[in-house]
Amino acid sequence: MNSNPLLQSFDTAPFSKIKNEHFLPAISQLIDESRAEIETIANNDESPTFENTIEAMEFSGEKLGRATSIFFNLNSAETNPEIQKIAQEVSPLLTEFRNDLLLNEALFERIKTVYNQKEDLDLSKEQVMLLDKKYKAFSRNGANLSDDKKQDLRKIDTELSKLSLTFGEHVLEETNKFQLHVADKNDLAGLPDGAIEAARHLAEESEKEGWIFTLDYPSYIPFMTYADNRELRKKLAMAFGAKGFHGDDLDNQEIVLKIVNLRYERAKLLGYRSHAHFVLEERMAESPEKVLAFLEDLKVKAKPAAEREFRELTEFAQKLDSINRLEKWDSSYYTEKLKQERFNLDDEKLKPYFELKNVISGVFTVAEKLYGLHFKEVDTIDKYHPDVKTYEVLDDNENLKAIFYADFHPRPGKRNGAWMTSFKPQKIQNGKNDRPHISIVCNFTKPTKTKPSLLTFNEVTTLFHEFGHALHGMLANTTYPSLSGTGVYWDFVELPSQILENWCYEKETLELFAKHYETGEMIPMEYVEKIKESANFMEGMATLRQLSFGLLDMAWHNRNPKGITDVKAFEVAAFEDTQLYPDVLENCMSTSFSHIFQGGYSAGYYSYKWAEVLDADAFAYFKENGIFNRDIANKFKEFVLSKGGTEDPMDLYVKFRGQKPKPEALLERAGLLE
Ligand SMILES: [Zn+2]
């Protein structure tokens, strides 16, 4: 008998029974079992139907999914060298399994047969979405191409993955190789103690005197924000902006050109007009034309505010330090100075009002008021670390809606940042609604011997953000697991998370939980007002900057790039209408634009702003009717949170809102309207 706990059936993940040595054998065996399930579907003698092909695929591989979610979640939240080593072995097996699946011709023939009968099958909207999703997973991977062209596609894909890898390696090497070595203590003027300490530490590590600053964000950002020495800020900023642009063996210009050309060729091969057309087919935004119209519209509306702010900042710098021409390396520095002058609000003042346990109960109360959810902490659920909290999530009638795990504080085995994930998806199978197991993982300030965990306001909004994703998971109510909860198009997934952040700025919400941890005093309303105002500080410039990145990304990807030979010149042209600061000749953004040339954001950078427009527009609807209005909350639950990816996101949005999203609410919230 096999005693591997990952191969037994279980409901909540049996963490205490799982040992590292269980992962590889379990996942290997479950891959074999999933392959066998797929072969059975592909070789079925009966003619293909939605049920025996599409639905059968959707419900196959369930155990494998559960085992891998446990494994990869642990690799993020509670890892160690052994788990990392196993990940190196497991990942290629899973990639191979996935690739083989997508190249399975017999299987694709069956999917295609069903797909071609789509109109006659009397399918529900959810079933149509599932069918499209399965079909496109294959067709977008070249399943419809002739054998020659399939070969070409594989060649392009191999080449592209090599190039992205090299691009990333170059950026990393450029980042690591530069150091700003400060020997004179006076050059540290303006910097907070924490930043100085970290710089000292870096110097010690390389056995140097003085202080070392690098191009890593935790070192770079404080320096650009606080260092009084303008020449040194310039030096650091110039190094930051020149990554991959030195004409040496770490230069990325050729790589950028190769990547955009190969992406274009790949899109053409698959029958799309451009790479952006290919990407946006599976997005709420639908097409490059719509994305460009969206970006241009926001640009026109945000630019006057951005120009006004730029003038204001210029005058401020002129008055303060007689700066005649504001440069890029002055931006964060004077913005912070002006912000301090105007708001005089820092984290230390606010933190006593945001004790973690109060904030948690606050976010639970918000979920209760909006969606009738109740969180009951339980100690009967197995956890992967003693710090993890576990809850049963019940509705008003005490029905179990979800299991919720919350893991709040940093540990050596946890990666940075904050995220939501799941250990078990929601689905309806054989008439049974299987409820999901959702988790959020954060890295919040730890309690000390004398103080409980007190959060910065930024951590408060982060908690609401991740909890918003968690609600998307917990309230899911769909048949198919791959369309459940957060299984939506990329530019729709941040709506549930970002919208919830809005509640943090509201008096009615803060009254629920923002109490001083010692005195119990409510947060002063003056602070609340300042939080709101400072959140929008210099938002016009920030918006224009985000738009410029979105426009550059689209420029690289929505056309035939064959004629482009000069990366810098192309970039300057794309930026033409969005730049406030003088251009720096020695700098280039594209050669280190990892989001689009290394990560998966190509033709997708716009989605940051897109999601903000959605969340502002959706929240405005709440605001008009009361932020705890149950009717509006019910609509949001019914048409957005519970529906996952079962319908076109724009249709869902319109059902909730009664109209398509408009940018005005965002512009108003950001204080960009005249
Ligand atoms: Zn998010």
Q: Model confidence over 400-412: pLDDT tens digits?
A: 999 999 999 999 8
pTM for the full predicted model: 0.93
DSSP character for 432? E
Active site residue 466: yes
Q: How does pLDDT run across 35-72, given as a tens digit for each residue?
A: 999 999 999 999 999 999 999 999 999 999 999 999 99
Average pLDDT over residues 253-269: 98
| Cα of 490 from ligand 1 centre, angstroms | 11
Q: How does pLDDT run across 580-621, given as a tens digit for each residue?
A: 999 999 999 999 999 999 988 999 999 999 999 999 999 999
Q: How far apart are CA 135 and CA 109, in angstroms?
A: 10
| Cα of 495 from ligand 1 centre, angstroms | 8
Give the closest residue to 339 by CA, choosing from 308, 313, 302, 304: 313
3-state secondary structure of 401: strand
What pLDDT is recorded for position 345?
Answer: 82
pLDDT band at 314 (very low <50, low <70, confident <90, very high): very high
Least confident of 42-46, 349-353, 464-468: 349-353
What pLDDT is recorded for position 630?
Answer: 97
| Cα of 407 from ligand 1 centre, angstroms | 16
| Cα of 440 from ligand 1 centre, angstroms | 11
Side-chain half-sphere exposure of 18, counting CA atoms within 13 A? 24
Q: What is the DSSP string of 466-516?
A: HHHHHHHHHT---SSGGGSTT-S-GGGTTHHHHHHHGGGG-HHHHHHH-B-
Q: Is 426 within 8 Å of 484 (Cβ atoms)?
A: yes
One-letter identity of residue 567: V
| Cα of 156 from ligand 1 centre, angstroms | 31
What pLDDT is recorded for position 600?
Answer: 85
What pLDDT is recorded for position 158?
Answer: 93
Show the 3-state SS of 318-355: HHHHCCCCCCHHHHHHHHHHHHHHHHCCCHHHHHHHCE
Per-residue pLDDT at 388 exceeds 60: yes
| Cα of 130 from ligand 1 centre, angstroms | 24
| Residues of the chain above pLDDT 70, percent | 100
pLDDT band at 488 (very low <50, low <70, confident <90, very high): very high
| Cα of 129 from ligand 1 centre, angstroms | 23
Q: How does pLDDT run across 216-234, given as a tens digit for each residue?
A: 988 999 999 999 999 999 9
| Cα of 493 from ligand 1 centre, angstroms | 7
| Cα of 489 from ligand 1 centre, angstroms | 13
Write down the H helix ranges in 3-140: 20-42, 56-58, 62-77, 81-102, 105-116, 125-139
Which residue's structure tokens are 């399930």? 37
Q: Is 114 within 8 Å of 131 (Cβ atoms)?
A: yes
For the chain, the maximum distance between any two Cα atoms, rounded to a whole number of angstroms, is 82
Q: Which of 55, 355, 466, 506 is catalytic?
A: 466
What pLDDT is recorded for position 416?
Answer: 86
pLDDT band at 445 (very low <50, low <70, confident <90, very high): confident
| Cα of 515 from ligand 1 centre, angstroms | 27
| Residues of the chain above pLDDT 90, percent | 93
Q: How does pLDDT run across 283-305, given as a tens digit for each residue?
A: 999 999 999 999 999 999 999 99
What pLDDT is recorded for position 671?
Answer: 87
What pLDDT is recorded for position 559?
Answer: 97
Give the closest residue to 619 by CA, choosing from 370, 384, 405, 417: 370
| Cα of 163 from ligand 1 centre, angstroms | 28
Kind and range of the H or E run holding 439: strand 437-441
| Cα of 420 from ligand 1 centre, angstroms | 8
What pLDDT is recorded for position 348?
Answer: 84
Kind and range of the H or E run holding 9: none
| Cα of 224 from ligand 1 centre, angstroms | 26
| Cα of 609 from ligand 1 centre, angstroms | 13
Q: Order across the sheet with 389-394: list the strands.
A: 374-377, 389-394, 400-407, 437-441, 419-424
Average pLDDT over residues 74-97: 95
| Cα of 57 from ligand 1 centre, angstroms | 29
| Cα of 465 from ligand 1 centre, angstroms | 6
What pLDDT is recorded for position 346?
Answer: 79
Mean pLDDT of the residues in the chain: 96
